[in-house]
């Protein structure tokens, strides 16, 4: 009876009775809102920002960095010009006062020293910016060259992707064989044919040599026959006397001298 009354009492207790639930994980605890708000989610987002898990800002491109450096260089160059002018002004002021007003002259020289220090710092900063800009420009150029080389390598690879050295060797062998076949066909077509009879060219050359030897032998025989021919008959001497030729002029002169000698004697 006591046990039964106890169970009935527990059943009447209603919402005041404690119920046992399985333990929850840490993620469920963080996601569970408390007090009607999203404190768990806020805590997680805060931890993400703390440990660097938030959204990262995108850095400037090399072109943007170069442009920014150039703008800063222009500003520093203007500052250099301004400082140089101020140095000259303070120098002129110091010369103007000289020993007449030493305090004003010394103040001018102190200001000149400060301007000179600022000018030296500006020169160093400008040199650093120029070095950075040149380094970025060189890096950009090298990156562009590398991209171009990579594209060229990819293009070459794509051009030769369907080629294989073994296939190329086989192709060249086939081309050589086809050329030999074509040459054989050309020789067969250009070979003279006579009613289907084939004449050996060597035999024709031997026959030609025999003909030449026979012709040479006939020429030698004809030369011997010509030597044995009878001599040529000359015409006979005429029987009539030929008319005497006129005496030469020297004989006529001698005859005239003889006649003159006879007449004188």
pLDDT tens profile 156-191: 888 888 778 888 888 899 999 999 999 988 888 877
In the predicted model, is pLDDT for residue 132 greater than 70?
Answer: yes
Residue with tokens 């562009």: 144
pLDDT of residue 72: 94
Q: What is the pLDDT of residue 258?
A: 75
Nearest Cα to Cα of residue 44 among 22, 58, 29: 29
Task: Tell me the per-residue pLDDT of 14-29, one tens digit each, with 9 for 90 and over.
Answer: 444 444 445 555 444 4
- Consecutive H or E run containing 83: helix 62-97
Q: In the numeric block, which tokens belong to residue 240?
A: 């009539």
pTM over 0.75: no
Report the C-alpha gap between 262 and 176 in whole angstroms.
Answer: 121
CA distance 54 to 141: 33
pLDDT tens digits, 226-249? 555 555 565 665 565 555 555 555
């Amino acid at each position: 009876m006591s046990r039964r009354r106890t169970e009935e009492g527990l059943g009447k207790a209603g919402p005041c009775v404690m119920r046992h639930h399985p333990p929850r994980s840490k993620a469920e605890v963080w996601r569970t809102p408390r007090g009607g708000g999203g404190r768990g989610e806020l805590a997680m987002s805060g931890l993400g920002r703390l440990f660097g898990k938030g959204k990262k800002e995108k850095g400037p491109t090399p072109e943007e960095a170069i442009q920014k450096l150039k703008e800063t260089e222009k500003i520093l160059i203007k500052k250099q010009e301004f400082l140089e002018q101020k140095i000259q002004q303070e120098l002129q002021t110091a010369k103007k006062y000289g020993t007449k007003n030493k305090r004003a002259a010394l103040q001018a020289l102190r200001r000149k020293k400060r301007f000179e220090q600022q000018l030296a710092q500006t020169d160093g900063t400008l040199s650093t910016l120029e070095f950075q800009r040149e380094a970025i420009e060189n890096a950009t150029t090298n990156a562009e060259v590398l991209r171009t080389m990579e594209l060229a390598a990819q293009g070459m690879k794509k051009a030769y992707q369907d080629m294989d050295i073994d296939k190329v060797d086989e192709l060249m062998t086939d081309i050589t064989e086809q050329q030999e076949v074509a040459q054989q066909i050309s020789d067969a077509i250009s070979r003279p044919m006579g009613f289907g009879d084939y004449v050996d060219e060597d035999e024709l050359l031997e026959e030609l040599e025999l003909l030449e030897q026979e012709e040479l032998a006939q020429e030698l025989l004809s030369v011997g026959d010509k030597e044995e021919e009878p001599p040529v008959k000359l015409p006979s001497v005429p029987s009539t006397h030929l008319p005497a030729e006129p005496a030469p002029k020297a004989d006529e002169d001698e005859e005239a001298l003889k006649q003159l000698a006879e007449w004188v004697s």
